Structure 1
Amino acid sequence: MKTSMLHVFLCLLLTSNAFAQSGNEKVTAIKVKANATVSYQGNLSDGQQIADLSWASNSSVACFPATQNQKFTGNHVFYSTTIPKRSEMFIKVIPKNKNQNFSLYAYQVGLTNEQLPPNLSSCITCEADSKWDRNWKGKTQDHTRNVRVNAINRPYKIMIGVVGAEGLTAGDFTLEIKLNGGEEIVHTAPNIKAVNIVTKGAITRTSGNLNSGAIISDLSWASNSSVACFPATQNQKFRGNHVLYSTTIPKYSEMFIKVIPKNKKHNFSLYAYQVGVNNEQLPPKLSSCVTCEADHKWDRKWRGKTQDHTRKVRVNAINRSYKIVIGVVGAEGLTEGDFDLEIEIKKR
């Protein structure tokens, strides 16, 4: 009788352990919105523990090292979504109880990949956040956990794991997902020309208004590696009208370009690219350039630096002169606004 009972107990134990590692986890599909933040409510009790965490330290996944496994031993609650091309995604879990210890990870795979931990054999990238073992200079951590992923030329599936640390299996939380970029763009061919500016003296000034320009819906030229002006994740900062100017930078000189919006509350952006003096290409048909510099409103503050409503870029020439094409742009769809453009040339 005792032998029979022991046999039943072992079978139940093996069945329970197999379920914890079976990959039969529930996954909630969620939707994100371009250039917006969405929130979802959940509880760790909706998930289950994963006994085998070796997948996370596998070199083809590289999510978190085995030395951190204790921070992922509670219930795992899974969500899936899609990150569009030319976008970045910021994922944040906010425990309702600030005293509860949560962890978070997100991995990136192909759209048709159905693998889940512990059967995840590989992924494109995996990012994780958990309670720090020590303090980091200049940084602080609260009860929230954050990770970031991005996509460039194609969309991907993003699997998100909200986890209880140290065996935690219950606890309310908010999952917050912010998507920068990712909008579906209908490309139109703008009728846009560059106004030529002849520089006079050290500083040349001119005035304009964004309403004299046009929206350039196809901004893929800017993130093209042969142009490298600004990444696609910053496209929203260049979604308004583009007013183009062209001028010449003499050899052995530096050019400092500054746009000053008349209304300090208007959000402007600025770029300037350098090409041969006979190059007639303009965005969105610019295929390459010598260099391109851009400035826009910062997403965050930088230590020791400040930013006002003006935007500035610098270009230089050494052994020969170049054409400089300047783009004064409204951010986030801005199509009207007076501005002053200032071009300063310094001889080397």
Structure 2
Amino acid sequence: MKTSILCVFVCLLIVNNAFSQNEIKKVTAIKVKANSTVSYQGNLSDGQQISDLSWASNSSVACFPATQNRKFTGNHVLYSTTIPKQSEMFIKVIPKNKNQNFSLYAYQVGINNEQLPPNLNSCITCEADSKWDRNWRGKTQDHTRKVRLNAINRSYKVVIGVVGAEGLSTGDFTLEIKLNGGEEVMMSTPKIEVVNIETKGAVTTTNGNLNTGDVISDLSWAANSSVACFPATQNRKFSGNHVLYATTIPKYSEMFIKVIPKNKKQNFSLYAYQVGMNNEQLPPNLNSCITCEADSKWDRKWRGKTQDHTRKVRLNAINRPYKIIIGVVGAEGLTNGDFELEIEIKQR
């Protein structure tokens, strides 16, 4: 009996020691720059294997399913950095040898969270990329691997894992990190006069210039779930002057709003939100609204769709009229530019 207990105890020690040897102790801290791309050189031989990959398929992590474990069986090289609030991070690993099979993952946790695989119990989000098992229509994959993360109202620690697939344990690579946003913004009180527009007939037009508006430094109102106008990762498209207009949408009607820059090369954005007739809140002090719609220059092309220099949004009212606040905005810090604002109302 004593011999059996001793044997079990020794076995447990061996198992525990095997797992403890898989704890990654080397994590390289790296820095990112606001609205910039940085790159770092590495080799898989700097990392080590993690035999227990159950953490990745844990529902509190949800990084990659256990059926994909073979793509993460090689050495893991870990990096840590910070994603600032109101920013978007694009992470890319580029193997030096195009014939080598790499994988990639990255997860977000609280700034002071020290958990690492295989002892990661949970995270805010985890994204992974590996060699596809099959081709996808309209998409191609090369030897690089890519993931994307974003932060809205607060900063997070990001842990990045560059991994060899199918047991790969050596291979040079470049880790490239692009950060959109992330700069510290000095908050200022905008001085924006709201221009009232009385709609006449089906279509009403008015002319304006961005130089009559002002910059709204604090754009957190737009990403607020009670407003949901545009995400913080798109803030740069609304970083120029805002020119505000107020009008009314009648009940049982649709409103189509369009801004037409006079200079087709200038980059404008547009938003419009619906509130009660007596609501006097304006950005950046807008706490909530009925609905908010925004349009800006696309980051990529969409199949079957095209975009020109104009921006358009649509709103509708059913049983009652609403106040509409329209924001014509310069993207990428644009503060000057003539435009025509067109408001079309269609009665149902």
TM-score, normalised to structure 2, is: 0.91
Does residue 1:21 correspond to 2:22, yes or no?
yes
TM-score, scaled to structure 1: 0.91
Query: Comparing 187-196 with 118-127, which one deviates more in the overlay?
Result: 118-127
Cα distance in 2, alignment partners of residues 291 and 35 from structure 1: 30
Q: Distance in 1 between matches of 2:225 and 2:122?
A: 28
Paired residue secondary structure (1:179): strand
The amino acid that maps onto 2:183 is E
Residue 258 (structure 1) aligns with: 258
Q: Which aligned pairs between 1:123-272 and structure 2 lie closer than 5 A?
A: 123-272=123-272
Q: Which amino acid aligns with 1:313?
A: V
For structure 1, the residue ranges without an aligned partner over 5 or more in a row are: 1-12
For residue 54 of structure 1, report the CA deviation from its aligned partner: 2.5
SS in 2 for 1:115: coil
Partners of 1:183 and 1:292 in 2: how far apart?
A: 26
Q: CA deviation at 1:49?
A: 1.9
Contact kept in structure 2, 1:240 and 1:330, CA below 8 Å: yes
Give 2:35's aligned residue.
Answer: 35
Tell me, yes or no, if the aligned pair for 1:91 and 1:177 is still in contact at 8 Å. Answer: yes
Structure 1 residues 271 and 15: CA distance shift in structure 2, 3 A:
closer
In the other structure, the counterpart of 1:297 is 297
Q: 1:59 deviation in Å?
A: 3.0
Secondary structure of 1:81's match? strand
Mark the CA change 1:15 to 1:223 in structure 2 (over 3 Å): closer, same or farther.
closer
* Offset at residue 14 of structure 1 (A): 9.2
Alpha-carbon distance change, 325 to 18 in structure 1, aligned in 2, over 3 angstroms: closer
Per the alignment, residue 48 of structure 1 pairs with: 48
Aligned-CA RMSD value: 1.8
Distance change >3 Å, CA 321–CA 121, structure 1 → 2:
closer
Counterpart of 1:237 in 2: which secondary structure?
A: helix
Give unmatched runs, 5+ long, in structure 2: 1-13
Tell me, what secondary structure is at the counterpart of 2:332?
Answer: helix
Alpha-carbon distance in 2 for matches of 1:15, 1:317: 64
Q: Is the 8 A contact 1:23 1:119 kept in 2?
A: no
* Distance of aligned partners of 1:343 and 1:14 in 2 relative to their CA distance in 1, 3 Å threshold: closer
Residue 64 of structure 1 corresponds to which residue in structure 2? 64
Question: How many angstroms apart in 2 are the aligned matches of 1:194 and 1:239?
Answer: 18
Alpha-carbon offset, residue 269 of structure 1: 0.3
* One-letter amino acid matched to 1:316: N
User: Partners in 2 of 1:18 and 1:196 — Cα distance?
Assistant: 68
Contact 2:19 2:52 in 1 (8 A): no
* Contact 2:153-2:220 within 8 A present in 1 as well: no
Looking at structure 2, the residues matched to 154 and 22 of structure 1 have their Cα atoms a distance apart, in angstroms, of: 29
Q: Give 2:85's aligned amino acid.
A: K
Q: What is the CA-CA distance between 1:15 and the residue it aligns to?
A: 11
Measured in 1, the distance between the counterparts of 2:280 and 2:128 equals: 47
Per-residue deviation at 1:158?
A: 0.6
| Deviation of 1:119 (Å) | 2.3
Structure-1 separation of matches of 2:319 and 2:289? 17
Give the Cα–Cα distance (whole angstroms) in 2 for the partners of residues 225 and 303 of structure 1: 29
Whole-angstrom CA distance in 2 between matches of 1:86 and 1:167: 37
Partners of 1:298 and 1:39 in 2: CA distance: 26
The answer to whether the 8 A contact 1:20-1:51 is kept is: no
Contact persistence 2:269–2:296 (CA under 8 A): yes
Cα drift, residue 93 of structure 1: 0.8
Measured in 2, the distance between the counterparts of 1:337 and 1:42 equals 46
SS in structure 2 opposite 1:55?
helix
Name the SS of the counterpart of 1:67 in structure 2. helix
Cα offset, 1:17, TM superposition: 5.0
Q: State the shift of 1:244 in Å.
A: 0.6
Aligned to 1:113: 113
Closer, same or farther: CA 55–251 of 1 in aligned 2, 3 Å: closer
Residues 1:46 and 1:15: Cα distance change in structure 2 (over 3 Å) = farther
Question: What is the aligned partner in structure 1 of residue 92 from structure 2?
Answer: 92
**How many aligned positions are there?**
335
Partner of residue 336, structure 1: 336
SS of equivalent residue, structure 1 residue 221: helix
Supply the distance in 1 between the matched residues of 2:317 and 2:58 (Cα, whole angstroms): 49
Contact kept in structure 2, 1:20 and 1:48, CA below 8 Å: no
Matched with 1:10 is none
**Distance in 2 between residues matched to 1:251 and 1:57, nearest whole Å:** 50
Aligned equivalents of 1:34 and 1:217: distance in 2? 16
Shift of 1:127: 1.4
Say whether the 8 Å CA contact 2:270–2:311 is kept in structure 1. Answer: yes
